[in-house]
Amino acid sequence: MAEIRTVGIIGAGQMGMGIAHVCALAGYDVLLNDLSAERIEAGIRATRANMTRQVSRGYITQDEMNIGLARIAPAEDMSAFKTADLLIEAATEDEVIKKQIFKQLAPHINDQALLASNTSSISITRLASTTDRPERFIGLHFMNPVPVMKLVEIIRGIATDAPTYETAVAFAQSLGKTTANAEDFPAFIVNRVLVPMINEAIYTLYEGVGTVDAIDTALKLGANHPMGPLELGDFIGLDTILSIMNVLHEGLADSKYRPCPLLVKYVEAGWLGKKSGRGFYDYRGETPVPTR
């Protein structure tokens, strides 16, 4: 098994910073890359705010926060990744973009480095095939929000070797996570079950079976879900929900995975959920208000 000391993360958005957050608190040095210095700085500010919240709630101490933040360093150029033992891609859920990132990484990483993707639905085998080390490539699918959620799905591509898998499992467990092995099929386990449920809730709204409020209330109280499916879709991002549904529909060729036309319309309108201010709820006021 490879020894992991330094973790490089590509993507300083919500997922990338969540991964950086837990890695730094677990004692790993973190190198953080994104398209601009401004994005990296914004990500680090968000992590500082999240850690401050953890301190206020007694989950970590102020010293642990200070030490953790000091372990996160910006890597504006990928050449900084030469010292990284593990590189985790946490970019947007777009296969073309992810493949471009791995091609750009190739000249800048050492021969022993492991590669991982935080993809929530895309084939690990296909992503690995664009690299010079498919046997050292694996899927590490963290759940959102990373500091809170305990699960990491571990996905092996067809070429992933045993030492890479064992190292990935040990790494995830060192972060205090529980691992679940998923085979390399579209959307893996969690999103294979969860996202079609959200899509079906959107169909229920589209067909007039219930309102936004009625659907979310019914699932929260009738199925004991902590969050209604439409609210959850807004939290995840409706563009991500659509991307995953498209992967399922194209990869499994089953009409039950057809994205709801209303979901497509919301994404086309730029109503992507909480991150854009509007989705199935309008978040621009003091309290969220259903948009339908």
224 φψ region: left (φ > 0), alpha (ψ -120 to 50), beta (else): left
pLDDT at position 117 over 70:
yes
Mean pLDDT score across all residues of the chain: 96
pLDDT in tens, 19-53: 999 999 999 999 999 999 999 999 999 999 999 99
pTM: 0.90
So what's the pLDDT on residue 1? 61
So what's the pLDDT on residue 286? 92
So what's the pLDDT on residue 168? 97
pLDDT in tens, 88-115: 999 988 999 999 999 999 999 999 999 9
pLDDT in tens, 158-167: 999 999 999 9
So what's the pLDDT on residue 2? 73
Q: What is the band of 85 on the pLDDT scale with cuts at 50, 70, 90?
A: very high
Residues marked as catalytic? 120, 141, 153, 191
The CA distance from 209 to 222, in Å, is 16
pLDDT in tens, 234-289: 999 999 999 999 999 999 999 999 999 999 999 999 999 999 999 999 999 999 99
For residues 58-80, average pLDDT: 95
The CA–CA distances, whole Å, from 147 to 19, 174, 189 equal 8, 13, 20
Domains of the chain (ranges; CATH) run 6-182 (3.40.50.720), 192-290 (1.10.1040.10)
Q: What is the band of 146 on the pLDDT scale with cuts at 50, 70, 90?
A: very high
For residues 200-225, average pLDDT: 97
